[in-house]
Amino acid sequence: MTGRIWCLTIVLTLLLGSSGGCEQKATTDAPSAGKGQQTPENAATPTAAGEKLVVGFSQVGAESAWRTAETTSIKDEAAKRGVELKFADAQGKQANQIKAVRSFIAQHVDVIVIAPIVETGWEPVLREAQRAAVPVILIDRGIQVSDDSLYTTLIASDFVEEGRMAAEWLAQKMGGQGEIVELQGTTGAAPAIDRQKGFAEELAKHPGMKIAKTQSADFTRAKGKEVMEAFIKSDREHIQAVYAHNDDMALGAIQALEEAGMHPGKDVILVSIDAVRGAFEAMVAGKLNATVECNPLFGPILFDTIEKLRAGATLPKYIKNEDRLFDQSVAAEVIDSREY
């Protein structure tokens, strides 16, 4: 539909005497539209010389050390490149994110970046952005939409793979035998859904291992501690291992285990995801056994991607961050080289 309108625009341009063709890249041939004017789907309009690129970023909140590292990386990179960044902290509420996106559209930003709290409920506002011809880049978490032209690209880790890595490591550590309690991330969030899925899939290969209890602790340290306290209260004897969807929840669980007189890292094995500094410190102290990296340093790749988009490049629908697992055996040697 948008493509047809675009071809028509070029035909009209030809009739008026300019050169061009429908097969040519829409962005390069675009009559220089001002911010917020109709342009082809997902095409970022080049900003006039001297004009600052304006990016609206709707962030999840500040629930974890990982999140803080992501925010800092994006803010620092924007400042370094002279990009005006409109930053909106949604404080964990999707309704706030939707409001922020609407306000970015109204302000005619050049590009909207969203780290979506949950996977569903995005279509209406993304259609509004599409109608206003503002390209949307998803960062760190994916969404479910019936029409993937509603966003330009997703830059994120493969959370299913992260879950698999954690399970594979744990199965090996526990010799294929044992009961695990799971601390899930935010209900409905892509990393919670996929880290649970990948872990369960891999664990199914080990019939001697099972998840005894699983509950959301919302990716925070405080809730990780709270949920772990409840697990300890109800079934202390059976807790052999903890799988936490992020390091912050694992650090909260460590606190709960210690307060209950248990020995995290020794009589209870813990594996989590993110590889933040606090996790390395806990590994060096012998309290956390392993963590799977999930890189939050999105700044450089995000603004490189925006630059490519604005230069008219066709972007892949998914740009993957590569992750790896670190365990206690390498923690002391690696900790000083960690950037977050």
| Nearest by Cα to 101 from 76, 73, 71, 137 | 137
Between CA 330 and CA 335 the distance in angstroms is: 8
Member of 178, 191, 198, 264 binding ligand GZL (CB under 6 A): 191
Site string for ligand GZL, 240-279 (x = CB under 6 A): ------x-x------------------------xx-----
Between 77 and 274, CB nearer to ligand GZL: 274
Length of the chain: 340
- Taking the C-alpha atoms of residue 294 and residue 122, their distance in angstroms, rounded to an integer, is 24
- Site for ligand GZL contains 219 (CB under 6 A): yes
In order, the DSSP letters of 212-227 are EEEEE-TT-HHHHHHH
Residue 167 CB, nearest approach to ligand GZL (Å): 16
Q: What is the DSSP letter of 53?
A: P
Smaller CB separation from ligand GZL, 164 or 206: 164
Shortest distance (Å) from residue 248 CB to ligand GZL: 6
Of the pair 110, 274, the CB lying nearest ligand GZL is at 274
Cβ 98 to ligand GZL, closest distance in Å?
18
String of contacts with ligand GZL for each residue 48-67, x by CB under 6 A? ---------------xx-xx
The residue type of 239 is I
Residue 164 as a binder of ligand GZL (CB under 6 A): the answer is no
Measured distance CA(117)–CA(140) in Å, rounded: 10
C-beta of 39 vs 272, nearer to ligand GZL: 272
Phi, psi (deg, nearest 5) at residue 111: -145, 145
Residue 289 makes contact with ligand GZL by CB under 6 A: no
| Residue 136 φ/ψ region, left for φ over 0, alpha for ψ in the -120 to 50 degree band, beta for the rest | beta
Q: Give the C-alpha separation, 136 to 336, whole Å.
A: 36
Nearer to ligand GZL, 39 or 295 (CB): 295
